[in-house]
Amino acid sequence: MIIHCGEQVSISRGELRTLVLQTLAARSETLRRVLLLPPDHTRLNSQAGVITAMAYEALTARGVRVDVMPTLGTHNAMTEKQLRLMFGDTIPLTAFLVHDWRNGIVRTGELPGSLLAELSGGKVAYSVGVEVSRRLFDGYDLILSIGQVVPHEVVGMANYTKNIVVGAGGADIINKSHFLGAVCNMETILGRADTPVRRLFNTAVETFLGDLPITYILTVVEQDAVTRQMHLRGFYAGDDAPVYHEACKLARRVNITLLDREPRKVVVALDPHEFQSTWLGNKAIYRTRLAIADGGELVVLAPALKEFGEDPTIDKLIRKYGYRGTPATLKAVAENEDLRGNLGAAAHLIHGSSEGRFRITYCPGDGMGLEAMRAVGFDAVPYGEMAARYNPDRLQDGWNRMPDGEEIFFISNPALGLWAYRAKFEQ
């Protein structure tokens, strides 16, 4: 079963409702209990919040009991304000469940080290426990996994099986999959549909979760470079790999910007509703690293920054080890048990470094001290000072010429795509 609506300039709200209803109608069996798995507010632009509200309304009108569990992965639990921002006011707060990636999980099987050795070309050979939320096994007739396909630093293209084994997953598979992506070189993974990490996720779901009644709804969203308005370009629903690959085809066209020359300075703005940690805000680094010239600079405008990791343990590890690059991080992993036990954090430290190739200047507001930013390896300038020069409300996405002649490349939201120098990406 594939329900496909792509290639449109913008799918209207009415058309979206029809597509959601068609997806639900495709399940011919009687539905008594349904679990919705949307992302959290850090994927605000995915349209998953609207889709979740539509599905909830349609199902409960038929007398179906519906639970909603945002796929937090390692993120903080959502506040009431964030739930309302993402999902609107129609879903009662009592319908929301909280995913606990450390304690609320069950192990359904284990993938052998030989598979990881094959996927990584021998770089790692550990086994991976397939751990997911125990809620998935609570007798639901339908599990509706909802989310956006967009370039992603760990898996290549986000969502599909990642939403199950990471968004609703447990520590072992989250940590080890992220480290697998790091040692396989993020720059060869970004924007690719078929990667070592994607194969790991698909194998985990096919091998150990195949009996779960999962249907995927995948969206592709594009931002207008001039108006910054979000357009829902694609809607894909189904229960196996073709629905993911169809979404990837469109996402590659509308979410990857290939540049014919490398900018010396890139300025990225972090939406205060979405980005309050470097754990998330470092998308500014991941999604631009293939574009920035050697010796260049990335300026990250982060007015709402207040922490490094959204998990207390990870936050502590980031403060302790910092973003020092791959050799230093691998050395720290080899010598320190606390980092070996949190390989996802180690992967994040690798991903968040420019490996000395370009400068990274973070510009936090009052929630984060400049010395704390410098202590983890970034340059730091107050947000107000840098925003006075690079006002995100006045800059246009893309190339800008400043009054003094400086040329910059501006990105208003790094979560919406991938920017790369064409020659580098096509190597």
195 with 291, same domain: the answer is no
Element (H, E) at 66: strand 65-68
The neighbouring-strand residues paired with 408 are: 400
Phi, psi of 185, rounded to the nearest 5 degrees:
80, 100
Note the pTM of the prediction, 2 decimals: 0.92
* CATH number of the domain within which 88 lies: 3.40.50.11440
Q: What is the gyration radius of the CA atoms in the chain, in angstroms?
A: 21
N- to C-terminal Cα separation, the chain? 36
CA nearest neighbour of 164 among 135, 195, 190: 135
273 with 232, same domain: the answer is no
198 with 269, same domain: the answer is no
* CATH number of the domain within which 362 lies: 3.90.226.30
Taking 80 as the threshold, does the pLDDT of residue 315 lie above it?
yes
pLDDT tens, position by position, 24-54: 998 767 899 999 999 998 888 899 999 999 9
Say if residue 218 is exposed, middle or buried (CB neighbours under 10 Å; 0-12, 13-18, 19+): buried
Domain total for the chain? 2
199 with 275, same domain: the answer is no
Average pLDDT of the residues in 374-402 = 97
Q: Count Cα neighbours of 332 within 13 Å in the Cβ-side half-sphere.
A: 22
- What confidence score (pLDDT) does residue 74 get? 86
How far apart are the C-alpha atoms of 267 and 319, rounded to whole Å?
24
230 with 99, same domain: the answer is yes
The neighbouring-strand residues paired with 277 are: 307
Taking 80 as the threshold, does the pLDDT of residue 7 lie above it?
no
Can you say whether residue 45 is alpha, beta or left, with left for phi > 0 and alpha for psi between -120 and 50 degrees? alpha
50 with 193, same domain: the answer is yes
Taking 60 as the threshold, does the pLDDT of residue 250 lie above it?
yes
pLDDT tens, position by position, 59-89: 999 999 999 999 999 888 999 999 999 999 9
- What confidence score (pLDDT) does residue 26 get? 85
User: Among the three residues 230, 256, 282, which one is the final residue of a domain in this structure?
Assistant: 256
Phi, psi of 8, rounded to the nearest 5 degrees:
-75, 155
CB 421, CB 262: distance < 8 Å? yes
The angle formed by the CA atoms of residues 348, 105 and 335, to the nearest 5 degrees, is 35
Residue 227 pLDDT grade (very low, low, confident, very high; cuts 50, 70, 90): confident
User: Among the three residues 200, 222, 256, which one is the final residue of a domain in this structure?
Assistant: 256
Maximal C-alpha separation, the chain:
66
pLDDT tens, position by position, 159-205: 999 999 999 999 999 999 999 999 999 999 999 999 999 999 999 99
User: Among the three residues 238, 256, 274, which one is the final residue of a domain in this structure?
Assistant: 256
- What confidence score (pLDDT) does residue 131 get? 97
The neighbouring-strand residues paired with 258 are: 420
Q: Positive or negative, the Cα torsion across 328, 332, 334, 340?
A: negative
291 with 389, same domain: the answer is yes
- What confidence score (pLDDT) does residue 4 get? 65
CB 208, CB 130: distance < 8 Å? yes
User: Which residues form the domain of 74?
Assistant: 2-256
Residue 282 pLDDT grade (very low, low, confident, very high; cuts 50, 70, 90): very high
- What confidence score (pLDDT) does residue 384 get? 97
What the block records as the tokens of 333 is 């992993």
CB 288, CB 370: distance < 8 Å? no
- Could you please report the per-residue DSSP string of 339-378? HHT-HHHHHHHHHT--TTSSEEEEEE-TTS-HHHHHHTT-
- What confidence score (pLDDT) does residue 3 get? 67
Phi, psi of 130, rounded to the nearest 5 degrees:
-85, 100
What the block records as the tokens of 371 is 């010395």
- What confidence score (pLDDT) does residue 328 get? 97
229 with 286, same domain: the answer is no
Q: What is the DSSP letter of 150?
A: -
Q: What is the dihedral of CA 20, 230, 50, 219, to 10 degrees?
A: 40
29 with 174, same domain: the answer is yes
217 with 283, same domain: the answer is no
264 with 222, same domain: the answer is no
354 with 277, same domain: the answer is yes
